[in-house]
Chain A
Amino acid sequence: MTTLTIFIIGAILSVSILFLVRKGKMHGPYATWWLLVAVCAIIVSSFPQIVDWIAMRVGITYPPTLILVVAISLILIRMLTMDLALSRKEQKIRRLTQRLAILEAEIKESLRD
């Protein structure tokens, strides 16, 4: 039952992502990331044995733990990269604002002359 739920979530997610990209609402790299997540969900829900197999290989006795650990780690990494991207944006906005102010002043100056 859970696998079916995950499969449906994965399917809806991939369709939504493709739809958003098609409508031009989502930027390339982000879309690829989310599509990858959706594909993983579909694969894992279709073949739950994969999780059991990997868990056994890395020595985890209760396989669902593996899913949770991997999922939370990926979410944390994603959040970190989001904050990095936000900082970069903030830096660009600040520098653009400064540059705009400088150029504006120069235009005014040259109009006065």
Chain B
Amino acid sequence: MKTLIVIPAFNEADNLAQLLPELRKISDLDVLVVDDFSSDKTVEVVTGLGVSCLQLAIQLGAWGATQAGIRYAKRNGYNHVITMDADGQHLPQELATLVEKIADGPYNVVIGTCPQRLSRLKKLAWAYFKLLSRIKIEDLTSGFRIYDKRAINILSDKAASLLDYQDVGVLLLLLQADLKICEIPVKMELRHDGKSRVFSSWLVVFKYMLQTTTLCIANFGAKQSK
């Protein structure tokens, strides 16, 4: 069983300098950092610690970077991919929770969620999207996930390349392919520094809500989650 941890990173040199040694101590899984055209020393820090690093030549955003990692995993014959954020809010100690849950089956995707981390505003947004998309998942944007081989194949496909976020669009794709998704509660750290990429400014939030709404409407009538 080969498992790869994919960490998309955009200007996360300081956070990665903390996270990667911790990861090394706790787990012996392969780690791959995908640098999303950072302007700081992200690449130097990562390669300095002896961790593999993909360098994107054009900025693709969080999902584009994650997908690059997933495609790398597919190419190199990994059975599972774990995605986690570079900012330290996903704890290396919780990796085992995800790995065990997916090993027990029968799920293809396990999402680590932390209900307490959601602000009231986010809860409202998620309730809206859940209603619109019929996805019965508590935390739609949690980037702390493990994917199995089938999910890897679907997500490395062309169809997933025009998505912008690792959230509703990705879940809809997986559900349409009849994959089983489950959530498992995990502990999460509040962000060390930096803010959520999606919820950073009102304009970005507005754009995100509008885009995701369109995506949900376009997928009306597609498979529902169980």
Contact = CB atoms under 8 A, between A and B. Distances in A.
A87 B162 contact: yes
A90 B162 CA distance: 8
Contacts of B57: 97, 100-101
Contacts of B58: 93, 97
B72 A105 contact: yes
Contacts of A93: 58
Given A101-B34, A102-B68, A102-B75, A95 B56 contact: no
Interface residues of B, number: 18
A94 interface: yes
A83 interface: no
Nearest to A100: B57
B75 A98 contact: no
A91 B60 CA distance: 11
B158 A97 contact: no
B111 interface: no
B164 to A, nearest CB: 10
B60 to A, nearest CB: 6
B133 interface: no
Interface of A: 87, 90-91, 93-95, 97-102, 104-105, 109
